Chain A
């Protein structure tokens, strides 16, 4: 792989790692492991941990995919590998 290819791939992996990190935190930390602690905070009538597991995580997933799509498009253009 040439240098441009290597740089493109590491930029891609960098983007994927932080998106996966958010995905992990929202699902497994906020929604599951620390849900009991978060439940002492309330969002309207929702205990927060419960809200993450049954509502919030899903909204975050949608946001993550569209952020990924946008930033991946930017990376494609920066390294000039986008589709014509």
Chain B
């Protein structure tokens, strides 16, 4: 069977499965629609949370980023998993005990203020909408590369599929579909990694393969990789840090508290039956996430090695990398390179006109490397590789069979669709439950609330699809913004709501707003006001990364710190929260008496 047919078969088959599950798990009540009836077992909820969490960015881009960054890429690995420790201990069990459908509802009730809840809704909508744009573009990329249709057609098909199971199935349909999507995406990630690990190290488990010796030698893969890329002028793989140690520290912290504060992740813990189940569900989620996250560094290092070894034949032959015959002859380059050149994600340019490809770091400061390149007649790096290729082209680079490539296509789509559905759920609940029911039409009937939720979701799909079709110029910076907002506004507010009995509404509001403001200010200074080109005001704050060399992506933790400080200062000078609120906090802290989640006030 040819590659195209195999891919259609795999993708078509998985889509049919998702729709089938959605029909089986239709939501009939608001409780099923928002919280899957609060009856999902912890292991299944963990799997669904993992699929919800691992987006197109985790699946497609992360390994490529790590391959480029080396050791420093560990900040994504630790940041996006360590947040679950915070979530499991500081937020999830208490929010489950609180027993309501949404994050803004907790903030509104705990801080006895509709304004607080509205601020939370705004933070939630901004974070979720910016996040969803990335998923929709991911769907478009996967479709256009693998199915040979245009990216736009891909987005329409993606919208239709999500519409079918999210609008009719609600949280219940989404949860069970995500379980299936998790299985598809994890197989798609791990199967090629096993093959590649076997090829390079003879060890089938990629996590161990990364720490093993190269086949037939007593040199470890990582030290060989270090040696090769340093020889070509790149930074040493195992030690290159992300900016400075301080920046890596703050960046990791920002991703962790951002992860714990993202509403579409928190919401998953309203679907389990008990407080104890919320605790273990976070652990299961992390196990399922870790399967991918511990494989990613192996994929990154091995793909980087394979890529260099393909272009420079001196690497596998243990010959001089700067010898003329080491550089790959352009006419001998493998088919997958030609295929990816068409997408523009891989570019080759013969700068010195020798008909061979030279791939090295021409910006290096090492005189030795520049001298050797000069002597060999190299006139600059000739190959540029987009980070997203690393995972998508991985099976092709390693010359794996067609069904593995088809599996990766289905996996990429599963990752993007499952995250999009989870985000849509959070958006729909915020609009229908926190805005319409809570603020505008308090006595809305359950039937009408359900209907509003479905309309809100359909509307959100159309907006997300539109933004995916016409990606605003700021798409690249937006995911950082989503984490920044979650870290600087939502996480501190929820945490203080649980751990400080005396925190009042004035403190919480002032904290949320100042955390949000300072984070937006720093991000906009670098990237433009609302990401509009030409409105950057980075000189005004003393140049790029002027705050102790911290990059805007890493700034969420600083915003969170300010949030805590402002909240405690304002809290000290204003009056205590009412007695019934303090009693509510005490009740939230103990597991006994947990009930099924409801939307009641």
Contact = CB atoms under 8 A, between A and B. Distances in A.
A64 B591 CA distance: 20
Interface string A45-84: 1110111011101110110111011001100100001111
Contacts of A27: 78, 82, 252, 256
B293 interface: yes
Interface residues of A, number: 45
Contacts, number: 140
A53 B221 CA distance: 17
Contacts of B590: 5, 8, 76, 81
Nearest to B90: A16
B73 interface: yes
Contacts of A49: 71
A51 B239 CA distance: 11
How many of chain B's residues touch chain A, expressed as a range?
35 or more
Contacts of B220: 44-45
A22 to B, nearest CB: 9
A46 B211 contact: yes
A76 B591 contact: yes
Nearest to B280: A69
B279 interface: yes
A66 to B, nearest CB: 5
Given A54-B77, A54-B297, A58-B78, A81 B591 contact: yes
Given A32-B249, A83-B276, A12 B293 contact: no
Interface stretch (B114-122, B174-182, B283-291): B283-291
A51 B279 CA distance: 27
Given A16-B89, A33-B245, A45 B252 contact: no
Contact of A9 (B221, B223, B287, B589): B589
Interface in A12-54: 12, 16, 19-20, 23, 27-28, 31-33, 35-36, 39, 43-47, 49-51, 53-54
For the residues of A in contact with B, the DSSP-based class is helix
A81 B592 CA distance: 5
A66 B290 CA distance: 14
Interface in B543-601: 586, 589-594
A82 B594 CA distance: 10
Contact of B297 (A5, A39, A55, A83): A55
B85 A19 contact: yes
A43 to B, nearest CB: 7
Given A50-B238, A54-B77, A61-B286, 18 more contacts: A8-B589, A12-B589, A20-B89, A28-B249, A28-B252, A32-B252, A35-B71, A44-B220, A45-B213, A45-B221, A46-B210, A50-B71, A50-B222, A53-B78, A61-B82, A64-B85, A66-B280, A73-B276
Interface of A: 1, 5, 8-9, 12, 16, 19-20, 23, 27-28, 31-33, 35-36, 39, 43-47, 49-51, 53-55, 57-59, 61-62, 64-66, 68-69, 72-73, 76, 81-84
Interface of B: 66, 71, 73-75, 77-78, 81-82, 84-85, 88-90, 93, 207-208, 210-213, 220-223, 238-239, 245, 248-249, 252-253, 256, 274-276, 279-280, 282-283, 286-287, 290, 293-294, 297, 586, 589-594
Q: Identify the 3 closest CB pairs spanning chains A and B, nearest first.
A: A45-B220, A53-B74, A65-B283
